[in-house]
Amino acid sequence: MKNILRWIVLSLCFSAMLPGAIAAGERGTADEAMAMVHRAIDDINKNGRDKAFADIADTGNKQFHDRDLYVFVYDMNGVVLAHGNNPRMVGKNLIDLKDGDGKPIIKGFIDVVQSKGKGWWDYKWPNPMTKAVEEKSAYIEKVGGDLIVGSGIYK
């Protein structure tokens, strides 16, 4: 009887931990976001902007789409050049875009890359997996003097 109770308790403890472990595995990590940005930069440098932007937009391309991670590219004026989650944004100038708390998003990206060349920027954005607006931290790098290439993690 003690063995059966022990097994039940262990089973309940394990099953209680499992949803958190699964949820954590469903989200991209900071290291994965940075690696994705570096792959996108390599693609831009090797294959040119047009080909790289098409690769980034291709949701079947696992180099640039993984769970809640995707790549985006803006120019230094705030125009979307490529977006791995929402192709309808391409061509739009989003320089004045702010999150629900009024925090500037694209101006924040520009400030980071102009001052440091690369870094992280926190804001709120819709998660493509949950469809909820969540805290997001984007890793961004300046490329070729006029591009901002990034990918973000949801917290």
Whether residue 11 has pLDDT greater than 80: no
pLDDT at position 14: 31
- Cβ 55 vs Cβ 84: under 8 Å: no
3-state secondary structure of 90: coil
The class of domain 29-154 in CATH terms is: alpha beta
- The domain locations on the chain are 29-154
pLDDT digits (tens, 9 = 90+) for 81-108: 999 998 899 999 999 999 999 999 999 9
Single pTM value for the model: 0.82
Taking CB atoms within 8 Å and a gap of at least 24, the contacts of 38-45 are 39/63, 39/64, 40/64, 40/71, 40/73, 40/149, 40/151, 41/141, 41/143, 41/149, 44/143, 44/144, 44/147, 44/149, 45/143
pLDDT at position 121: 98
pLDDT at position 25: 67
Q: In this prediction, what percent of the chain has a pLDDT beyond 70?
A: 84
Name the strand (E) or helix (H) holding 108.
helix 106-116
